[in-house]
A and B are shown apart, each in its own frame.
Chain A
Amino acid sequence: EVQLVESGGGLVQPGGSLRLSCAASGFTFSRYWMSWVRQAPGKGLEWVANIKQEGSEKHYVDSVKGRFTVSRDNAKNSLFLQMNSLRAEDTAVYFCARIVGDGTVLDYWGQGTLVTVSS
């Protein structure tokens, strides 16, 4: 059974940093692109970042470029999102998701971890 479990969320002050983790199990993690998607409270979904199987290729939504870094450790079946220079508008539940097909389909999602940016 495919499982994705996020962790690392919490309360952080504006300008601060946080590192999210996503533990994957039930599939060969190293064979898949992975993604982060976020959802602000009461709002819709927003794609944040993708990372290729070996980590050589990464893509970001414009609003987080230069502040967020996606990475992975295939030996530990883990996906990460390093978030720096956090802003109030980054407050959201962050989901990790597995990508299949031609890189456009998110077939499995974790339950999410809440990040709150506030003073």
Chain B
Amino acid sequence: QSALTQPRSVSGSPGQSVTISCTGTSSNVGGYDCVSWYQQRPGKAPKLMIYDVFKRPSGVPDRFSGSKSGKTASLTISGLQAEDEADYYCCSYAGTYTLIFGGGTRLTVL
């Protein structure tokens, strides 16, 4: 399977909202409510930010939210802060205990 499709980059000013899309197929994003989002800062391990489309792990600010419509999932970050600058990856279940990631989106806080 090909990687899920994400925009290569998005940007926003502090306080604004940004949305990152993640488009797949009926075999992954469209077929399961099992989309997660990971934040990765340079040289660091990925960090889980959203799972099961919209659920937030303990400790993740409620400025981060997730949604899904058909074959496209979205991560929205509201009240953008400088510390949100990072790479973001979506990940979907793809059947038979396999996972597929998106290509990643670089978020720049202007």
Contact B101 A112 (CB under 8 A): no
Are B99 and A47 in contact, with the CB atoms below 8 A? yes
Q: Does A73 sit at the interface, judged by CB under 8 A?
A: no
Q: Find out whether the CB atom of B97 lies under 8 angstroms from the CB atom of A57.
A: yes
Is the CB of B18 closer than 8 A to any CB of chain A? no
CB A66 to nearest CB in B, in angstroms, measures 16
Contact between B103 and A107, CB atoms less than 8 A apart = no
Across the two chains, which residue of chain A brings its CB closest to B105? A44
Knowing A44-B89, A95-B45 are in contact, say whether A104-B34 is a contact too (CB < 8 A): yes
Given A45-B89, A59-B96: A107 and B48 interface contact (C-beta under 8 Å): yes
Q: List CB contacts (< 8 Å) of B58-102 with chain A.
A: 89, 91-93, 96-102
Q: Please indicate which of the listed interface residues B36, B91, B92, B97 has the most CB atoms of chain A within 10 Å of its own CB.
A: B97
Contact count A vs B, C-beta below 8 Å? 70
- A59 contacts which chain B residues (CB < 8 A)? 96-98
CA distance A96 to B92 in the complex (A): 18
Q: Known contacts A44-B103, A61-B98, A107-B48; is A102 also within 8 Å of B89 by CB?
A: no
Shortest distance between the CB of A10 and any CB in chain B (Å): 19
Q: Is B46 an interface residue (CB 8 A)?
A: yes
Partner among B51, B96, B101, B104 whose Cβ is within 8 Å of the Cβ of A47: B101
B30-51 contact mask (Cβ, 8 Å, vs A): 1 or 0: 0010101010100011111001
Other contacts beyond A47-B101, A59-B96, A61-B98: 5, CB < 8 A: A44-B89, A44-B102, A95-B45, A104-B34, A105-B48
Sample of 23 A–B contacts (CB below 8 Å): A37-B46, A44-B3, A44-B89, A44-B102, A44-B103, A44-B104, A45-B38, A45-B46, A46-B3, A50-B98, A59-B97, A95-B45, A102-B93, A104-B51, A105-B34, A105-B48, A106-B48, A109-B45, A109-B46, A109-B47, A110-B45, A111-B44, A112-B45
